[in-house]
Amino acid sequence: MGIFFTVGETKKRPGIYQRYENIGGTAAAGASNGIAAAVIKANWGPCNTVVTMSSDSEISKYFGTSGTTQVLHELFTGGATTVRAVRAGSDGTSGSITLKDSGSTPANAITITLKSPGSRQFRYTLRDSLSDTTKREFVLYDGTTAIEKIMFTLSADGEVDALIMAASSSTFMAFAKVSSYVGTGKLASIGQTDFTAGTDPTVTNESYANAFSLLESYRFNTICVDTNDISVHAMLQGFVDRIYEDGKMCLAVVGEPAGVDYATRLSHSVAYNDYRTIYFGSGWTDSSGNTYDGFLAVARISGMVAAIASNSSLSHKVITGAVSPIEMLTNTQFDDAVDHGMMVLSINTSGQLWIDYAITTLATPSGEDDAGWKKIRRVKTRFELMQRSSDTTENMVGNINNDTDGRTAVKQAVQGILNTMVSEGKLLPGATISDDTSNVASGDSAWFVITADDIDSLEKMYFTFQFRFSSAS
C-alpha cells in the first residue's frame, strides 16, 4: 500500500509513495453584477425593512406609486436586475376601518387595520359574491383596481368569525373582532368606501442612517438615496467607506440637480476625492418632457453602474430615452468636470446623450491609490477580483492545513480566477499569485501576493494626419 507524502518530502526507505491533487481546482466564484440598493420614501410598505425585488413590476406591490418610488424604477431602467430597497422613516400611522353588523342598531364588529403605515388611500366593499351564491366577499381597491379579494361563507349569524378566519393570510390588512362585540353576527353590506387614511412616517437624517445599517449585511454593487441633501450624501459616503473596510465592495452614487450652480457642484464632487463614491452632475429630459435631474438621474446612473460588466466602460454609453440635456456645457466645463471627478453628459454626433467620461470622484490619489481608481471600469475590475478571490477561498478557512499543500491549494484556486478574468478581457495576461516572501507563513496565518494588471477601455484616440502637396504630375 502506498504511503502518502507531501510536496518536497523525501522518504528515507524504498517503497511506493503517493499523494493526490485536485486538478479540477476549487469552483471559482463568478462575477456579481446588477445589484443596486436604495433608500426611499413612500406612502405604503414596510418601514425599516430591506425588500429585495427582481422586477420593476414588484415596486407598486411593496411600496405603491407615491413618494420617491420612481428611484426604484430608474434603477431597473438603468439595468439593475436586483434592487434592495428600504423605506425610511418612523412614527407613521396605519389606515383603518370598522365594520358593523346588520342589526337594527348596528354594532361595531370588526376592526381592520392596514399592515403598513402611510397615507396611501385604499377603498373597500363588502358584498354578496358575484360568482358563488353561498359566499360573500370583502374587496380591497387601490383606486379602481381590486388588489385583494377575501371570500367568506354567507351566514345568518356567523359572518364575523368567518371573515376574520378567511382574512388571516391577507397581504394588506389585519382583521380583529371588537372585544366587546355582541350582535347579530351578520355583516352589513357596504358599497365602495374609503379607508380612513394613515399618515406617512417622518424621515430625518437619522432615518437614512438607520436604513444604511439595515443594508449592511447585504451585498450590492451600488447604492443611492432619494434626496439631493448633501448631508445625507456625506453619510452615505461614510457608510460605504466603513463597510468597504469590512470587505463589502460597493459604490455610492450621489449628485445634485442642474439648479445648483455648476461651480458648486464641482466643489462638492472634488471634496469626496473617493474612488468608492461617484458624483453625477447632469440631467436630461425625455420625449414627453419629463425631467430627470438630481436624485432621479443619479438613480438611473446607479443602475447602469451596477449592471455594467467590468470588461466594459460606461464612457460614451447612451442614456436610454434621453432627448436633450438640461444644460449645455462648454469644452472648458467638460475639462473642469474631469479634473473634479464629476460625471456629466455630452452629445454624440447622432444627437444622442451619453456619459462623457465614466469616472469616480477620486481626483488626487494618495497613499496606495493609483490613477486607475479614478475609472469606474477599473474600480469594478479590482473590486471583482478581490470579491471573487474571497468568495472562492472562504470555505478553505479552517479546512486545509497551513502547509505547502494547503497554501498551494489556495494559490491554485486564486490562479484559476486570475486566468478566468484574463480570458474575460478584464486582466492582462501574466496575472499571478505567489507566497509573500516578506511574511513567512506560520501558525494559522499565510500571506500571498496577487499581481494583476487590470485593463482599461480605449477611450482616447489621437490621429496624426500627414498631408503632402505636390505639384508633380
- CATH number of residue 327's parent domain: 3.40.50.11780
Is residue 299 located within the same domain as residue 222? yes
pLDDT at 66: 92
Average pLDDT on 164-192 reads 94
Backbone angles phi and psi of 152, in degrees to 5: -145, 165
Is residue 288 located within the same domain as residue 322? yes
Range of the domain at 105: 96-194
| Largest CA-CA distance found in the chain, in angstroms, rounded | 115
Q: Last residue of some domain: 309, 329, 355?
A: 355
Structural domain contains residue 333:
yes
Q: What is the DSSP string of 299-364?
A: HHHHHHHHHS-TTS--TT-B-TTEEEESSPPPHHHHHHHHHTTEE-EEE-TTS-EEES--B-S--S
Q: Return the C-alpha cell found at 337.
A: 468636470
Cα four-point dihedral sign 274, 278, 283, 284:
positive
Q: What is the pLDDT of residues 87-101, one digit of tens each?
A: 999 999 999 999 999
Q: Return the C-alpha cell found at 67.
A: 413618494
Average pLDDT along the chain: 92
Average pLDDT on 195-202 reads 95
Is residue 167 located within the same domain as residue 222? no
Is residue 271 located within the same domain as residue 391? no
Domain count, the chain: 3
pLDDT at 237: 98
Amino acid at 10: T
Q: What is the pLDDT of residues 230-245, one digit of tens each?
A: 999 999 999 999 999 8
**Over 268-308, what HEC string results?**
HHHHHCCCCEEEECCCEEECCCCEECCHHHHHHHHHHHHHC
Is residue 216 located within the same domain as residue 184? no
CB 441 within 8 A of CB 407: yes
pLDDT at 465: 84
Beta-bridge partners for 98? 111
Collapsing DSSP to helix, strand or coil, 152 comes out as strand
Structural domain contains residue 219:
yes
pLDDT at 5: 61
Is residue 77 located within the same domain as residue 215? yes
Is residue 174 located within the same domain as residue 310? no
Burial class (CB in 10 A: 0-12, 13-18, 19+), 171: exposed
Using the predicted structure, report yes or no on whether residue 209 has a pLDDT greater than 90.
yes
Q: What is the pLDDT of residues 40-61, one digit of tens each?
A: 999 999 999 999 999 999 999 8
HSE-up of residue 214 (Cα within 13 Å, Cβ side): 22
Q: Return the C-alpha cell found at 362.
A: 477620486
Rounded-to-5 percentages of helix, strand, coil across the chain: 30, 25, 45
How far CA 460 is from CA of 113, 237, 363, in Å, comes to 60, 30, 19
Q: How confident is the model at residue 23 (pLDDT cuts 50, 70, 90)?
A: very low
Average pLDDT on 189-209 reads 95
Give the containing element (helix H, strand E) for 391.
helix 376-393
Q: How confident is the model at residue 10 (pLDDT cuts 50, 70, 90)?
A: low
Select, from the ranges 8-12, 155-159, 419-423, the one with the highest average predicted confidence (pLDDT). 419-423
pLDDT at 20: 47
Q: Which residue has the cell 425599516?
A: 48
pLDDT at 216: 95
Structural domain contains residue 291:
yes
Average pLDDT on 211-234 reads 97
Q: What is the DSSP string of 73-89?
A: HHHHHTT-SEEEEEE--
Structural domain contains residue 471:
no
Q: How confident is the model at residue 19 (pLDDT cuts 50, 70, 90)?
A: low
Is residue 219 located within the same domain as residue 335? yes
Give the containing element (helix H, strand E) for 173.
strand 173-177
Q: How confident is the model at residue 157 (pLDDT cuts 50, 70, 90)?
A: confident
Using the predicted structure, report yes or no on whether residue 273 has a pLDDT greater than 60.
yes
Q: Return the C-alpha cell found at 186.
A: 351578520
